[in-house]
Amino acid sequence: MGSDVDRVDLIIVGGGLAGLACAIEASRLELAALVVERGDRTGSKNVSGGRLYMAPVRPLFPDGFFDDAPMERAVTHEQLVLLSPSSSLTLDFTSEAFRQGPPSSFTVLRARLDRWLGEKVEASGAFVVPQAVATELIRENGRVKGVRAGDEELLADVVVAADGALSFVGREAGLAGPLEPAGCALGIKEVIKLDPARIEDRFALLPGEGCARLFLGDITAGMAGGGFLYTNTDSISLGVVIPLDDLAGRPADARGSHELLDAMKERSEIGPLVEGGEIVEYSAHLIPEPGPDRRPGRVADGLLVAGDAAGLVINHGITVRGMDLALASGVLAARAVGHAKKAGDAGAATLSEYERLLAESFVGKDMQRHAHVPAFLERRRLYERYPAAVCEIVEGLFEVGPDGKQRLYPRAARLVRKTLLDMDTLSDLWAARKL
Amino acid sequence: MKRLSIEEKLAMDAIKPQAEPHIRLDAGKCRECALKPCLTACPASLYTLDPGSGDVKLEHAGCLECGTCLALCPADLDWSYPAGGFGVQYRHG
């Protein structure tokens, strides 16, 4: 790696997980890489719900690479809360398997994590240019040759667009259409500072361990989506995710999206969890969740697209993943650039090595395995009917009234007949076989 | 937990406001827009109706740069990122 920044092997637009992973791998392959980052430093513009699945990612990085990464807590408790307007059922799953070997997933805060990764990138010999917005692609004979950032022209053999959900670079290159509500969700989050000991008491956690709690049902004001709560080291990430189509389809006098979190905290199941905490940050971010027919292209002459920009997000309802896919796609993009350099050609045909690498990795396999999920999650009853129906059935299990306790079976059978045994449910079940 | 207004929440964020707006509204298009999804969808609640003129107003300085308005705007909203070093700088993320 030289100090010649005039011409590098690859320019990476965006210092998020995809872009930084790409730079790390580029350095490992002895490619000269430069990251263009619009924030004050890597991580300044980045937000996620807050959970990173490391298990699929570790094999792509040198041994122990993430050992000193500033993760928040290893997730040892998987929790799901189903809510009706007036009741809720919480499932809390834990397993000793979560405590053996390296943790499968961690809660994370991106400003910290991405700053650390940015430092790793610079230590590897690649460059990070902060406070620079890539405003335009530079092309020569139709082939991408670099980017313009303010007055600067930055040239490279390959540009890697790791510029996130909005991906102006990918759109400019024609690999994605205009940003549209369909296939996009809005995540809104508060980071609420809370003493670590209180977090561990409140959520019954061992020191350093964490929980990931998802809320489904009467938490999104009748819209699809759901809520989440992640425990960080000394804070809680509380958030909500709503598909943009749902957000747009409301009357003009509907409550503003900024009030969704306030309504969440008014629930008796949630308010006490954050009581005594202090909001230290309020953030919002778009999540690309394109169905198979809406995924952006990922390869053009002199250009690769990685991470959120490439629509690499899998919302499986219970597990929502983007960051592991971003890290992996960044690494694979760098390998494809290495392949192109060896071949002495950065045309789309040579760079499509990236597609091959993605297809044989967990990224391609998972995207394919779960391709039917986005359509399934559009089924309204998942949010409007089933969580409430489950709560109602469970309520009967525990109820002892002035007249004593009713028999369980007739009540449950009636509720199941009333709410779950109809053509709609059968249709949902039939659709669920593809999950 | 004490409920904070959206202005109080945004005040918790580190935002380096750019004088020049990075989002520009076309007053005519906004007036004609029947849906005005920006009013309720913006998570920072930056879009409001001017009580006098009925025009859509934008307070760009609190923008979280999420792109929700850009995705939802039925017109061709003039939206770009703030210049390097400006806008929201997340400290937690």
A130 close contact with B: CB closer than 8 A: yes
Tokens representing residue A256 in the block:
């503003």
A286 close contact with B: CB closer than 8 A: yes
Task: Tell me whether residues A258 and B9 touch, CB distance under 8 A.
Answer: yes
Q: How many CB atoms are located within 10 Å of the residue A140 CB?
A: 11
What is the pairing mode between strands A7-13 and A143-149?
A: unpaired
Return the DSSP state at A418.
Answer: I
A132 close contact with B: CB closer than 8 A: yes
Mean pLDDT per 10-residue section of chain A, whose length is 435 residues? 66 98 98 98 96 96 95 98 95 95 96 98 97 97 95 96 97 94 95 98 97 94 91 98 92 91 96 97 95 90 98 85 97 98 98 98 93 84 87 88 87 83 85 83
Å from B71 to nearest chain A CA?
5
Let me know the angle formed at the C-alpha of B66 by B63 and B67, rounded to the nearest 5 degrees. Answer: 100
d(CA A302, CA A146): 9
> For residue B39, which residues of chain A lie inside 8 Å, CB to CB?
252, 256
- Beta-carbon contacts of B38 under 8 Å, excluding residues fewer than 6 positions away, are B47, B56, B69, B72, B73
d(CA A357, CA A345): 18
> For residue B3, which residues of chain A lie inside 8 Å, CB to CB?
262, 265
pLDDT at A2: 39
d(CA A77, CA A107): 11
Tokens representing residue A297 in the block:
């292209």
ipTM over 0.90: yes
Return the DSSP state at A422.
Answer: S
Å from B19 to nearest chain A CA?
16
**Dihedral over alpha carbons A392, A247, A291, A176 (to 10 degrees):** -170
Task: Tell me whether residues A45 and B71 touch, CB distance under 8 A.
Answer: no
- Single-letter amino acid, residue B1: M
Task: Tell me whether residues A47 and B81 touch, CB distance under 8 A.
Answer: no
pLDDT at A422: 83
Task: Tell me whether residues A110 and B81 touch, CB distance under 8 A.
Answer: no
Nearest CA to A303 among A62, A5, A12? A12
What are the pLDDT digits (tens) for B4-35? Answer: 999 999 999 999 999 999 999 999 999 999 99
Asked whether the beta carbons of A189 and A283 are under 8 A apart, the reply is yes
pLDDT at A231: 98
DSSP secondary structure of A78-135: EEEEEE-SS-EEEEEEE-GGGGSSS-SEEE--HHHHHHHHHHHHHHHT-EEE-S--EE
B20 close contact with A: CB closer than 8 A: no
Asked whether the beta carbons of A363 and A329 are under 8 A apart, the reply is yes
Task: Tell me whether residues A110 and B68 touch, CB distance under 8 A.
Answer: no
Task: Tell me whether residues B90 and A45 touch, CB distance under 8 A.
Answer: yes
> For residue A275, which residues of chain B lie inside 8 Å, CB to CB?
1
